[in-house]
Chains A and B, each alone.
Chain A
Amino acid sequence: MVPLAIARQTVREAMRRRVMWVFLICGVFLIALGPVFGFLSPRDSQTVLRSLGLAAILLAGLFITIVTCIYLIPTEIERRTIYTVLSKPVQRYEFVLGKFLGGFATVFINIAAMGVVFLVMIYFQEHKIPPEMFKGVLMTFFQMFLLAALTIFFSTFATPVVNFFLSFGIFLVGNLSSVTESLTTNHNPIVRFAGDTIHYLLPNFGNFNIQNSIIHPVTEIANENIFIRNNIVYALIYSAVLLTLAILIFDRREV
C-alpha cells in the first residue's frame, strides 16, 4: 500500500512537468505526420508510417523516461519533501519502489497514449491493425522499463545532470550490441576484456529493437515469440537487479 501511495503521488507530480508534455506532444505530432510523409516520399507510405511511428514512440519515450526518472529522488531530497515521508513508517525500499512504480506509470501512460495514436493512424491507413505493431510498442515499453530502472538506480547517488549523461550514454552503448559483440571476439585481450565487460554487463537495449522485422516483412526473427518473451524476462530480471542495488545504496544514504 505504501509504495502504491508514493507511486500515485509521483505520477501526479510527474504529469505536471511541462517538459514531459513537450516530448509527448512532439511524439504524437510526429506519428500524426506519418501519412503526410508517406505521400511525399517515394517509398511505400505504409513503411514510412510504421517506421516513423515506432521511431517517434521510441525517441519520445526515451526522453520522457529520462527526464521523468532522473528527478524523482533528487528532487525529493533537494526540496526536503523526503523528510516528512521518511519520518513516517516508510521503509526506504518502499520509497525507492514507489518512486520507480510512479515514474514508470508516467512513462507507461505516455507510451500508451502515443501507441494508441500510432495504432489509430495505422488503422486509418491499412484498415487493420497488424499484430506485429503491438509487438513493436510492447518492446519499446519494456525497453523503457529497463531504462527507468537504470535511471532510478543512478538517481540514488548521482545528480540529475550526471544521471542524464550516464543513462543516455548507456542507452546508446546498449543499443550498439552488434558492435560490442564484435569486440568480444577481438584478438587483443584488452579489447576483448573491455568488449566482454561492456557487452555482458551493460543492459542490452539493442535486443528490443525489432522495428526492422516489423517494418520490412522480408526481415524475419527466428522464433520471434520466444525472442520477445526472453527479452521481456531479461528486462524484468535486469530491472530487479538494478532496483535491488538502488535500494541497497539508498538504504545507506543520508538525506
Chain B
Amino acid sequence: MATAISIQGLTKKYVDVWQKQEVVAVNNLNLEVQEGEIFGFLGRNGAGKTTTIKMLLGLIFPTAGDATILGKPMGDNNVKKELAYLPEETYFYDSMTGWDLLDFYARLFRIPEPERRRRVKLALEKVRLQPEAWKRSIRGYSKGMRQRTGIAQALINDPKLLFLDEPTSGLDPIAHAELRDIVASLRHEGKTVFLSSHQLADVELICTRVAIIHRGKLLKTGTLKELLAGEHTEIVVRGESLTNGTVGKLKAVARILEGEGTDTLRLSSDDTEKVAAVIDMVRGAKGHILAVTPHKRTLEDVFVETVRKEDGV
C-alpha cells in the first residue's frame, strides 16, 4: 500500500511580536497515513489538529519539518488537484446557492462545462441534499444542509485524499449518522480520509487507524485493535468445592482478582477460549457461574487515559 501522507518532524511555533512568548502549536510531528485508510486524528481543542491540516494544505507554513502528500511536497499546487478539504466550520459565500457554490469550486479545478454540471449534480446527490434546496441561497440552509454542502464541495474533484475537520460536529442524530455513513462509504471508493474529530464513537466506528495528539505532540498512533488492546472478561463463580484443588486449575487459565480462600471467586481473562474453559471447570466442580461480564475498552477510555497520563493527572 502506498503512503498518502508522510510527515517528518513537522513543527509550528508562534512567537509574539517581541519574540518573548512562544507557543508550540505542533511539536516535531511524525506520522504516516497509507492510501485507502480512514485515519482518525484525535485531540482536544487546541491540540494542533487544524494547524497540522493547514500546514499540509499550504495555508500556513511550518517552522520546521517537512511532509509529502501523495508523493509530492505539501502545499504543491499539482497535488491539490487530488485533495479535498472540509474546514471545521463550513464558511461559505452565503449569498450563493448550493449549486452555484459547487459550480464556483468546480471552476477552480478548471473542470469544463458539461462535465462541471454533471459533477455538481453528482456531488449534491451523493450528500443527499434535497434537490429543492440546490437553487436556494445558502443563507437559508440549516447546519446539516451546510455540512452536506461542505462535503459535496470536497467531492467535486473526485479527490484521492480528503481532509475532513470535524465533519459531523453540531448535527442532529439523523444528519450525524447519515454524514458519518457518507464518510465511511468513501473508503469503499478507495479514497483516503484524514479525519480530525472529537466524535470518538464515530472514529471508532469508521477509522482504520488513529493518532492521538496533545499540546502539539503525538502521543499514540496505531490501529484500533492495537489501541483498544486490554479487553477482558470477568467471571464471578461460587461453590464450596472451589476451595479445594479446582482453584489451582483455574489459576492456570485465568487471573484471580478477588476472593481466594473463600467460596466466591472473581476471575479475569482476555481470551474467550479460556473464559469458556473456566466456565467448564466450575460447572464440572459443581460450582455456580454468578456472572460473566465482558469489559470492552472504548476509544474514549484510551483517549482520556492517554491524555491524562501526559498531563500527569
Chain A interface residues (CB < 8 Å from chain B): 1-2, 5-6, 9, 12-13, 16, 79-91, 254-255
Contact = CB atoms under 8 A, between A and B. Distances in A.
**Residue from A16, A84, A85 having most chain B Cβ neighbours under 10 A:** A84
B297 interface: no
B17 interface: no
B148 to A, nearest CB: 15
Contacts of A89: 77-78, 80-81, 108-110
Nearest to A83: B87
B205 interface: no
A81 B85 contact: no
Nearest to A82: B59
Contacts, number: 71
B107 A80 contact: no
Contacts of A9: 93, 96, 104
Given A89-B80, A254-B60, A80 B87 contact: yes
7 A-B pairs with the lowest CB-CB distances in the bound complex, closest first: A5-B107, A87-B85, A254-B60, A80-B91, A89-B80, A88-B108, A83-B87
A83 B57 CA distance: 9
A5 B59 contact: no
A84 B110 contact: no
Nearest to A5: B107
B159 to A, nearest CB: 10
Nearest to A87: B85
A2 B85 contact: no
A236 to B, nearest CB: 27
A91 B77 CA distance: 7
A89 B157 CA distance: 11
Interface in B74-104: 77-78, 80-81, 83-85, 87, 89, 91-93, 95-96, 104
Given A86-B59, A87-B59, A79 B108 contact: no
A13 B105 contact: no
A5 B108 contact: yes
Contact of B59 (A16, A81, A91, A254): A254
B111 to A, nearest CB: 10
Nearest to B81: A89
Nearest to B154: A84
Contacts of B163: 87
A245 B58 CA distance: 20
B153 interface: yes
Contacts of B141: none
26 contacts: A2-B108, A2-B110, A5-B108, A9-B104, A12-B93, A13-B95, A80-B89, A80-B91, A81-B91, A81-B92, A83-B54, A84-B85, A84-B105, A85-B108, A86-B59, A87-B59, A87-B85, A88-B157, A89-B80, A89-B109, A90-B77, A90-B80, A90-B108, A91-B77, A254-B59, A254-B60
A42 B104 CA distance: 55
A85 B54 CA distance: 13
Contacts of B95: 12-13, 16
Given A12-B96, A84-B85, A89-B108, 19 more contacts: A1-B107, A5-B104, A6-B108, A9-B93, A12-B93, A12-B95, A80-B87, A80-B89, A83-B54, A83-B85, A84-B153, A86-B58, A87-B59, A87-B85, A88-B109, A88-B157, A89-B110, A90-B80, A254-B59
A1 B107 CA distance: 8
Contacts of A88: 80, 105, 108-109, 157
A9 B97 CA distance: 12
A87 B83 contact: yes
A222 B80 CA distance: 55
B108 A81 contact: no
Interface string B151-187: 0010001000001000000000000000000000000
Nearest to A88: B108
A90 B157 CA distance: 13
A181 to B, nearest CB: 38
Contacts of A79: 91
A147 B13 CA distance: 37
A233 to B, nearest CB: 32
**Residue from A16, A79, A89, A255 having most chain B Cβ neighbours under 10 A:** A89
Given A87-B80, A88-B80, A81 B105 contact: no
Contact of B87 (A2, A13, A16, A84): A84
A254 B58 contact: no
Nearest to A9: B104
A134 to B, nearest CB: 34
Contact of A81 (B77, B83, B93, B157): B93
B239 to A, nearest CB: 65
Contacts of A2: 107-108, 110
